[in-house]
Structure 1
Amino acid sequence: MVAAGHGNAMASRLIHRAGNEPGWFLYAAACALVEADRTRPGTAEHIAALPGVTLLDLDLPSALAVARETTWSAAHTEYAAQPSIDRPDGAVVATTAPQAWKDRPVRVLDLNP
């Protein structure tokens, strides 16, 4: 999310596609949104206002998953990336820090050039 505010071309393309192409979805875990806003104030409002972004609330199942981890942002994002009824194939974590996801059970899209 912070990468999108820093002019990352790949992040911008994902946002554009999610807002303009059928079948493209972009999700933002609420806890990751909070952390992004702490890193770069204004990010949360910007991301939340984008038409192609679906915010994922911290509901009871995700809160229980977050409670078992040390960082809320990564835990909520990892939980959101797992297969679910809404996302049977799970989701891909788009990040500029792919090494942080190395030992986690998620698919990763490296947003670095």
Structure 2
Amino acid sequence: MTPVLLDHTALLALGKGHRQLSGFVVAAAGGRGVLQVPALSLTVAGGERTYLAEHVASLPGVEIEPLDLPAALAAGDLLRAGTDWRVTQAVHLARPTLDHPVGRPLISFEPQLYVGTGIDPITPTDS
């Protein structure tokens, strides 16, 4: 099962009750999907909305991806290339790897943040 990544904009939408994202959380809690949240995205969302990070981290079926050394090094490379710091870990995790040869789908409500990164995020349309 391919995990789906949620960036900080998706987390903020989830916190506002976005129905489709809430459905993804329910599916993940029931073992029918995997949602992953980059730790840096969780930090950004938590900085914008009080208690959102704690709420997201407590949701069943949601995995927080740590900002480990490979992610930190990749984030530094992306920063030097001009990528917005808030999405650097999400970009790193969405790119192809040995475990995820086609990358991981990424949900974002601000796809313009990913221009020039090689990542084409999914933007849900319903509220």
After TM superposition, the score normalised by the length of structure 1 is 0.87
Larger RCO of the pair (alpha carbons < 8 Å, separation 6+): 2
Q: CA RMSD in A?
A: 1.7
1:9 aligns with 2:22: no
Partner of 2:41: 32
Q: 47, 50, 55: which is aligned to 1:46?
A: 55
Unmatched 5+ stretches in structure 1: none
1:18 alignment partner in structure 2:
28
| TM-fit CA distance, 1:82 | 1.3
Structure 1 segments (4+ residues) deviating >6 Å? none
* 1:91–1:107 contact (8 Å) kept in structure 2: no
CA distance in 2, matches of 1:62, 1:33: 15
**Percent sequence identity over aligned pairs:** 30
Match of 2:123 in 1: 110
Q: TM-score scaled to structure 2, two decimals?
A: 0.78
> Gaps (5+ residues) in structure 2?
1-10
